Each structure stands twice: as C-alpha cells, then as structure tokens.
Structure 1
Amino acid sequence: MDFEPLPSAAGDATADETPPGRAVCSSGCGRPSTVCLCPYLPATPLPTSTTVVILHHPHALRVISRSPVLLLFPSPDAVNLASWCRSTPPPARANPTLLLLDGTWKQAKEMHAASLPFLSSFAVPVSLPVDCGVDGDSMFEGELVVKKEPHKGCVSTMEAVARALRLLEPEGRGEEIEETMVGVLRAMVAFQAEHLQHRPMKPRVKMRKKKDIKREEEMKRNTLDWSD
C-alpha cells in the first residue's frame, strides 16, 4: 500500500507515546508491549494499485499523475463509491489516488471546507455506501466502533480506507486487503476497550452555558437590589 507522506504540523508526536521506563515493542510497531499490534500485521506490505493519501492539515496537494483522484468524505455532493466503480470503465479508474481527511469530525469538516476550492478542481467527491438503518456508530461492525460517531455511516479513518479499498482494488484483492486492515483495527479497538474497562471512571464535569451563567448573575443582582 502506497501512502503519500505529507508534512505534519504536529510533528511526529502520536497518541501512543510511551512514558519513560515502559516496555516498548521493538519488532516494528513501536507501541507499548502490552498492546503490541505486530501479531496482527501482515508479514509484508499489502500490494495495492490504489495510492492512499491522508491529509493531516490543509496543505496544498500536488497532483502526481493522470490517474483518477477520489476525495472520500461524506459531503452532500459526494458520489456513492460503489456506484462510481460500477459506472466508470476499468481503464478510467485504474491506479486511483484516494484522499482522506484525518482528525476529529469538526477538524475534518474545517479541512474539507478549506481544501475544497483546490481539491474540487481535480478530485471526484465520493462517499462509502451508507446503511440508512444505522444511526451513529460504524455502519459495518459494532466491534470496530471506538466512539459514538456524529452521523449515519461515519467510520474511523482506518475503517474508511479498508472499506474503500475493497471496492477499488482489482482482481479480487480488495476483500483480502479489507480483511487484513479490519483485523488490525479490531485488535486496536479490543485493546482500548480492555483498557477502558479497568480504568476508574472519573465523574464528568458538567459545563454550564454562558447564557445560564449570565442568567444566574442577573438573578443575584436583582436579589441584591430588592434587599436594598
């Protein structure tokens, strides 16, 4: 699988940074030994004809080839990816480039809005097939859900890549690639679920809205006025 490297505004820091003194896997994944993903990773990189580009911030993206460029994002004008594959002749969809926006959904929307004027000049907006009977969580498998998603059909970046490659890869390779990637994601979610299960839950602090605070302040002032 060919991922285009892009500069990151956040540097090389990741959510899996390990505190000093903690055992780390030295075989390849670099994660803490207790949540090592190496047993779930393929022995060799998965060969794909699809180039996957994940944008971590809205930097300009240089078009490298004449192959089709697909922007995977659930926008109102996005074409169903399965429909696009069926309606596009094989020569016209060979060796595509798949663009994804990585971040929280709020960040992804901001990146989409900022990048669209540039990307719309050459990229085809596409989205994954959506099961309208599913509201919120992953539309595929409950065990792949890391957190509640905001809209129907929303999935994690990794799951989106896996599902898209199932449709895009030729000669039946898509299902094998999807199965491998989903297996890794399933292991990651299981590790996270196990961690959350044994972590003491702290009570959530209820955030008060500004208008509620303002109303309370006005009531206090009125009370003082009456007392005078």
Structure 2
Amino acid sequence: MGKNHKMDLDLPLPSSVSDEDAGGDTQTLTGRAVCHAGCGRPSRVCLCPHLPPSPLHTSTTVVVLHHPHALRRNPLSTLPLLARCLANFHLLPGRRLRPSSTPLLPSTPSPNPVLLLFPSPAASDLASWCRSTPPSARANPTLLLLDGTWQQAKEMHAASLPFLSSFVVPVSLPVDSGVDGDSMFESELVVKKEPHKGCMSTMEAAARALRLLEPEGRGAEIEETMVRVLRAMVGFQAEHLQHRNIKPRTKMRKKKDIKREEEMKKNAGLL
C-alpha cells in the first residue's frame, strides 16, 4: 500500500450483490448455481438454513483486519459467514493498521477497551482478563482480530503494533505451541490444518471470545449460534473430501537430478 492509502471501511464481501440481484439461486459463469440471496455459497452446500434469521446484535464491536489475499485465494474463509452472523461487524482489508485506517479504533485510550485477540507472548488469557476486570471497565468493548495465514497474521501483528500498542489490551484464547493442529474446544471445527493446537478459524475465535465478553449470559447463545454454522460448513467440507478422488501429485524433479540419474544409467551401461 502507498503511504497515503486509507483502508476502506466495511468492504463488501465477494458474495455481496445488489438488492435487484438478490432473488435466490443464480448461475455463475461456470454454470454452478450460487445462493446469492443468502450465504453466497454454491447451492449444493448452502448454509442459509444454519444461519441466524437476522444478524446477531452484540455489545461487542468486532473488527477484522484481513489480508488482501484472505478472501480472494481462500475458499474456506469464514469471513463471509461471520459477516452474516453479526450485526456489529466491520471488515478492514490491509496488511497493517495505522491511525488513518478507521475511526473504529481510537488512537488514544478510551473508556471502552479495545482487545487485540492474538496469541502473542504479551497477551493475557481472555477468560482471566474478564474475571479480573470490573464489568464497568469492560463494557461495550471492541474485539480486533487478524485474518490471514498464520505467517500473514504474524506479519500483520508486527506491522500494526506501532499504532496499536499505545491503547489495545492484548488477549488470547488457549493455545499450545507444542502440539500440532486442532481447536482447543472441538476438533470437528477445524477447517484446515493448523500449526499449533488452539489455532482456529477467525469465526470460531470470534465465537469463543464473544461467549466471554457479552453480558447477561448472552455470550453462550451467540457462541452456539455461530458454532452451529461453522459445524455445518466443516461437515460439508468433510463430505466433499470423502467422496473426492484425489490423484497423487507428480513429484517435481530438478533438471540437475534428472541429468545425474541419466549419467549414472549411462555409466552403468543402461543407456
């Protein structure tokens, strides 16, 4: 990005369509029916029956900084579903946050905390932070998440810290860096292979955090609604992989290795 480039607030998701077009299933250029009026997924794996009738209202403002490639190149991204589950949700495309990024993030400390959910060494366990913080000091928080590959998220975190470090509260959900893969909550919710136990999709992370942050027991209801959608998505993916005939990948060999093998065969009188 250029130095003067401001990130657009609430960028429309790829499945978004105009009111005139939102009439149900339509055909894509490849002939595959897509549910444009609802979840934006192929009709045969439509998740509309699992989505809440209307986006859920939360006292927590959920802001996601997503890497520019997170939606374009990741068919398993949970961001489109997250946007359809939460009313108070804002999507920011970019590789880092800065003062000009969005008015949603104050450049100075405010009465309402801004929580950066990322498993950094400085992060406090979110559940512990909620228990030790009076309700008045954690009312109407902003939950900030980073969406991308694990490497992209680390780079986005490091690039954004110069701006964020003066006012955010770094928090995390349980992570075990010594164990590979799987959610710390439900292994059935793993969308793809994760580097560490506890790394999870952006949607699951938001659901688990909202359970703790939302007042008057609303958190558990919101979490279950979001997790139900995620379970359905993972179920479709598992069924697809089960019936898919995957051909073994041809191992690519370097030219120097092929040349060496040919020379060995020639020396052995095989050529």
Scaled to the shorter chain, the TM-score interval is 0.7 to 0.9
Distance 1:134 1:140, change over 3 A: farther
Matches within 5 A, 1:94-113: 94-113=139-158
- Per the alignment, residue 6 of structure 1 pairs with 9
Deviations 1:45-65 (A, max 9, x none): 212100000001224344546
Q: Do the aligned partners of 1:54 and 1:100 also contact (CA within 8 Å) in 2?
A: yes
Fraction of identical pairs, as percent = 74
- Which has the larger share of helix? 1
Classify the secondary structure of the residue corresponding to 2:33: coil
- What displacement does 1:138 show? 1.0
* Correspondence 1:42 to 2:34: no
- What displacement does 1:123 show? 0.8
Alignment match of 2:127 (pick from 55, 79, 82): 82
Deviates more, 1:199-208 or 1:150-159: 199-208
Deviates more, 1:88-97 or 1:40-49: 40-49
Alpha-carbon distance in 1 for matches of 2:54, 2:14: 25
* Correspondence 1:138 to 2:148: no
- What displacement does 1:21 show? 2.3
- What displacement does 1:25 show? 1.9
Distance 1:36 1:119, change over 3 A: same
Q: Do the aligned partners of 1:82 and 1:129 also contact (CA within 8 Å) in 2?
A: no
- What displacement does 1:216 show? 5.0
Relative to the length of structure 2, the TM-score reads 0.69
- Per the alignment, residue 226 of structure 1 pairs with none
- Per the alignment, residue 162 of structure 1 pairs with 207
Deviates more, 1:54-63 or 1:135-144: 54-63
Deviations 1:194-216 (A, max 9, x none): 111122112234467xxxx6985
Classify the secondary structure of the residue corresponding to 1:24: strand
Structure 2 portions without partners, runs of 5+: 1-7, 16-26, 67-93, 265-271
- Per the alignment, residue 83 of structure 2 pairs with none
- What displacement does 1:132 show? 8.0
Deviations 1:104-163 (A, max 9, x none): 111111111111111111111110134689642111112111122101211110000000
Alignment match of 1:152 (pick from 194, 197, 209): 197
Alpha-carbon distance in 2 for matches of 1:191, 1:91: 42
Residues paired across the two proteins, number: 211
Q: Do the aligned partners of 1:137 and 1:152 also contact (CA within 8 Å) in 2?
A: yes
Relative to the length of structure 1, the TM-score reads 0.81
Deviations 1:145-202 (A, max 9, x none): 1122101211110000000000100000000000000000001111111111122112
Deviates more, 1:57-66 or 1:142-151: 57-66
Distance 1:21 1:138, change over 3 A: same
Q: Give the root-mean-square deviation of aligned CA atoms.
A: 2.9
Q: Do the aligned partners of 1:25 and 1:31 also contact (CA within 8 Å) in 2?
A: yes
- What displacement does 1:23 show? 1.6
Alpha-carbon distance in 2 for matches of 1:134, 1:169: 30
Alpha-carbon distance in 1 for matches of 2:120, 2:251: 32
- Per the alignment, residue 164 of structure 2 pairs with 119
